[in-house]
Copies of this chain bind each other. A is one copy, B any other.
Amino acid sequence: MNKVHNFSAGPAILPQSAIDASIQALQNFSGTGLSLIEVSHRSKEYEAVVAEATSLVKEILNLNDTYEVVFLQGGASLQFDMIPMNFLTPGKSAAYVNTGVWAGRAIKEAKMFGEVNVLASSEDKNFNYIPKDYQIPLDVAYYHCTSNNTIYGTEMFDFPNSPVPLICDMSSDIFSRPFDANKFDMIYAGAQKNMGPAGTTLVIIKKSLLEKANTKVPTMLNYKIHIENGSMYNTPSVFAIFVCMHTLRWIKSIGLEAMEVRNKAKADLLYAEIDRNPLFVGTVVPEDRSRMNVNFVLTNKELEEPFLKFCKERNLSGLKGHRSVGGLRASLYNALEIDSVQALVTAMQDFEKLNA
């Protein structure tokens, strides 16, 4: 079978080393003679997996000892509820920036728990840019942003110096480039883009933020409980954390500096072709274009379906835009190789010749 080039927005392409390790562990996990999915999460062999995954996150992001790291269930979506439940303290409001569907969902949920101050929004231009002119108020409980907008293809490359706790949803660009993680009070990310399979969510919280948390929070939605129990208050998503650990090993082996070089090269190659090829046009303002999710449309909308079909015939998979926005989207996560992007660019050029 020919190689399938996987541009899926998530769940998405993973390093082959992590997939191979998973296959091996399903056969015989860590010499136990049992499959990874049949062993106790409290076995010493599996506890070592959670410990290593946790420690790799800290190491790769250069987090100091003031941070806690846990793996939870429920995706980033459950974090949209857990954040205000834990950190929207009585008498305070929370500040959010609306940069798309996921930021919007985070705002909607926070409003169920208290007052929300939407500092800025790019909804006026269908979320094709990152708002930058706003002040973070001094009296809010926290400021929340979304670093990369998977659906609209925008990405924040600079983060404000926040006078209040800075919370960021990094689901779709975490580990894709170096950044100063110690600037944040909380970072969270659903695993299924740059870190692993669906089924687990990475949550990083600064101890000083935890100290301010609400006390009457249901147990499973209480960060302190999960942290005190080292991601094992209840049975964790065993398989997903295992794959994350192997993906994190792979990320560490490359390093975030080199990862950024890889990711920038892939994005530059594709955006250059979008800008050159008269059949295509990018939907995002150039300075906010995401390196993870490249959104574009055909200048002649009637060619969209034929182009998708043309791509499919060449084993270029997952290029259809999100059902809420349409168009095309190529997701270029960490594990995607540049030869896949080159294959897409070649397809765009060949399609141009066919439709000249």
Residues on A facing B (Cβ under 8 Å): 1-4, 6, 8-14, 19, 22-23, 26-28, 32-35, 37-42, 73-78, 80-81, 85, 105, 108-109, 112-113, 190, 192, 196-200, 216, 218-221, 233-240, 243, 315, 317-318, 323
Contact of B216 with A112 in the complex, beta carbons under 8 Å: yes
Contact residue among B10, B33, B239 (Cβ-Cβ distance under 8 Å from A197): B239
Query: Which among A13, A38, A243 has the highest number of chain B CB atoms within 10 Å?
Result: A38
Q: Which residues of chain B are within 8 angstroms of A74 by Cβ–Cβ distance?
A: 73-74, 78, 220, 234
CB of A8 to closest CB in B, whole Å: 5
Contact residue among B35, B73, B197, B235 (Cβ-Cβ distance under 8 Å from A37): B197
Q: Which residues of chain B are within 8 angstroms of A105 by Cβ–Cβ distance?
A: 219
Contact of A198 with B39 in the complex, beta carbons under 8 Å: no
In the bound assembly, the distance between CA atoms of A26 and B20 in angstroms comes to: 9
Contact of A198 with B239 in the complex, beta carbons under 8 Å: yes
Contact of B75 with A235 in the complex, beta carbons under 8 Å: yes
Contact of B235 with A237 in the complex, beta carbons under 8 Å: no
Contact residue among B3, B81, B199 (Cβ-Cβ distance under 8 Å from A239): B199
Q: Which residues of chain B are within 8 angstroms of A34 by Cβ–Cβ distance?
A: 4, 6, 317
CB of A185 to closest CB in B, whole Å: 22
CB of A334 to closest CB in B, whole Å: 13
Contact residue among B28, B199, B318, B323 (Cβ-Cβ distance under 8 Å from A237): B199
Contact of B26 with A22 in the complex, beta carbons under 8 Å: yes
Contact residue among B4, B40, B197, B221 (Cβ-Cβ distance under 8 Å from A8): B40
Contact residue among B3, B73, B109, B221 (Cβ-Cβ distance under 8 Å from A75): B73
Contact of B77 with A233 in the complex, beta carbons under 8 Å: yes
Q: List 18 A-B contacts (CB under 8 A).
A: A2-B33, A8-B38, A10-B40, A11-B235, A14-B37, A23-B27, A32-B317, A34-B317, A37-B196, A74-B74, A80-B220, A105-B219, A109-B220, A190-B235, A192-B235, A198-B235, A198-B238, A198-B239
- Given A19-B37, A81-B219, do A198 and B8 touch, yes or no (CB 8 Å)? no
Contact of B81 with A220 in the complex, beta carbons under 8 Å: yes
